[in-house]
Chain A
Amino acid sequence: MAAEPIPQILRLNDDCLDEIFDRLQDLPTEVSLARTCQRLRHICLAKWRTSRAYEQLDLDKWRELLPNYEDLVYFLTQIRPHIKEMCVSSCLCALLKDLDEMHIAELPLVASFYYDPEDVDCYPSNRSIRKLAQLLPGLRKLRLTTPIDGRYLSHFQHLQELHLYEDQHKAYELQQEYLDEVCHKLHDLRVLDIRTYDMISKLQLGNCVQSLKNLSVLKLNLATLKPILPAVLQLPSLRQLVVLLDNEWHISPLVSPDSYDHKIREVCEFYEIMERKAKNIVGFAVDGYYMPLEPGWDEKLSIWTHRRLKRLAICSWTHSADYLERYSCMADLQLLCLRNWNHLSDDILVRFVELCPRLEHLDVSYCRDLTPKFLPRALSVLKRREPYKQKTGFGRSPPLLLYYDLSGFEDFVDKANLKSSPEYRGYIVFTADFPVGSERGLSFVDRGYQFEFDCPLNL
């Protein structure tokens, strides 16, 4: 169109203006439109919000989209009240300084902050943590895996989740006094992850476990758990406990270092949880590489009386698969993870598919002994159970998610393109990923164990 004036554009209704906005070429043009008048600013802001493209603050990306600094500041000022997440990989101190210069004092709706710096030397200072708490007054979820001593963490008054763990070396862990502060002052805390990867954790929860009444997920080192295990098991809302075996441990001076087996880990707490919480246990996971329990270790557990297991993950096991068969009595099983079993056979696996009708996730990654023959057998069981699943109009249970990375039938699945096979549609979905909530790699839970409880108070 020729560049002649087009008067009365504001006579168009909002629907028409929305249609025009949808066809603007880029964000700078949208910002120019927003800066004209209040009505067009409302139109633009509504579109930015409903597109959800700017719910996560990404200053580096927005700098590229808006090279003009004034446009960037204007846009940030407009979208500020609607930003909901921050995921930061650059230096936190520098980011806070930039926001300060733009007069962005508060991001009231940000509920989630994830800090994963690319530069390993960029540790946030205590001052930055304090400023962050002022910037994000409504923060619910904080993941901060760089070394911090923990000062000012308790300033995040509405925090519900605190994740401090990463499976890498850390120069130091939280200071005890600040951990105590977090536990005493953050009354909404539901998830606490204070694991330390590569040393014996010196953190203690003895002074503050009584304050953790709302805690539903606790992830900690065995050294921290040991003195307070009974109190932890009595936490009224606890539904998941993840224990990381410490990387170092005390060896009694009387033990001969030549005969000491470094792979024997401390297991009495594991058994104690199994016994004390037997009627509440609905899931457990063990890393068999770091906890190589003897065959028959589970023969006399109290969980057999209750049979409530819904989620089971026993990984990197070297036992005969016959020992696994006893778990097929758990008819409510929804997730079965058997990564990296040396001797897992098709027959045992088919038995689980037959006897556990609610099975939704079957993870056999790294199980090299499985064969492609398992697949039609499993499919046949599922089809006998629900013959009309592929027809429209019939009520359907979810398909079985089969995690098959580096398993014995991985090549077959890929070559036969079973992911798109109409024969398996609705019954089995093949995925080379790992179940949500599990670690990636050879074990569902890394270097330790995990329990899930049916918590009566958990809403």
Chain B
Amino acid sequence: MSTTPPESKMPIFVNLQTNDGVVHTVDIRLAHQLGETICGIMRMEEGCYSFDIIPLPRINGEIMAFIIKWCTLVQDLEDNVMTRSKEIFLNLLKKDMAQPHFLLQLLKASDYLGMENFTAVGAKLLAEAINTCRNSEEICYRFNVDRD
């Protein structure tokens, strides 16, 4: 496995490959925001970062692109982080005209990656959707749950 010289001033990148073969190259600083799964793999290399590819078999390219976009926009937030993270999340969903099931896929992906902040935002949105339901019947209808 190749290594970059520690004194080098070149920016360091990490390559993430999703299950559809797409490779996402991200700055090392951003990669650290992408959750414990990726951080754990990077740590295994003992701080010697490389240009080898990190596989993410449970995530597709579209989901990964969304997560990277979101992380890029929230990584420098300092005030009202939760509120603004949620706003950015919603804006991205609207902009991408994402379907409702896309939110569920995002939540599954963030759980897989171990991204607590992202999971919190996604779970909050789904909880708010449940909170608007007046009773069990509405929840079943809204979330396509078979009553038993």
Contacts and interface: CB of A to CB of B under 8 A. Distances in A.
A261 interface: no
Contact of A3 (B107, B142, B146): B142
A442 B148 CA distance: 61
Interface stretch (A19-27, A351-359, A368-376): A19-27
Contacts of B128: 1, 23
Interface residues of A, number: 29
27 contacts: A1-B100, A6-B100, A6-B104, A6-B129, A6-B143, A6-B144, A7-B143, A7-B144, A8-B104, A9-B145, A15-B111, A19-B120, A22-B123, A23-B123, A23-B124, A24-B127, A24-B131, A29-B130, A29-B133, A32-B134, A32-B136, A32-B139, A35-B136, A36-B140, A36-B143, A36-B145, A36-B147
B132 interface: yes
B135 A32 contact: yes
B72 interface: no
A5 interface: yes
Given A22-B123, A32-B136, A9 B131 contact: no
B9 interface: no
A21 B131 CA distance: 10
Interface in A26-62: 29, 32-33, 35-38, 40
B136 A36 contact: yes
Interface centre among A24, A36, A37 (most CB of B within 10 A): A36
A11 B104 contact: yes
B125 interface: yes
A1 B107 CA distance: 15
Interface residues of B, number: 34
B126 A20 contact: yes
Nearest to B142: A5
Interface of A: 1, 3-13, 15-16, 19-25, 29, 32-33, 35-38, 40
Given A1-B125, A24-B130, A33-B139, A16 B144 contact: no
Contacts, number: 99
A16 B118 CA distance: 11
Interface in B103-128: 103-104, 107-108, 111, 119-120, 123-128
B141 interface: yes
B101 interface: yes
Contacts of A32: 133-136, 139
B83 to A, nearest CB: 14
Given A5-B141, A5-B142, A37-B146, A20 B130 contact: yes
Contacts of B131: 24-25, 29
A23 B127 contact: yes
A12 B146 CA distance: 15
A3 B143 CA distance: 10
A36 B125 contact: no
A3 B130 CA distance: 10
A37 B145 contact: yes
Contact of B145 (A10, A15, A23, A24): A10
A211 B87 CA distance: 71
B127 A37 contact: no
Contacts of A23: 123-124, 126-128
In the A-B complex, the 10 residue pairs with the closest CB atoms: A23-B127, A19-B123, A7-B144, A35-B136, A6-B100, A9-B143, A25-B131, A20-B123, A32-B136, A20-B126
A38 B148 contact: yes
Nearest to B110: A16
Contacts of B126: 6, 9, 20, 23
A4 B100 contact: yes
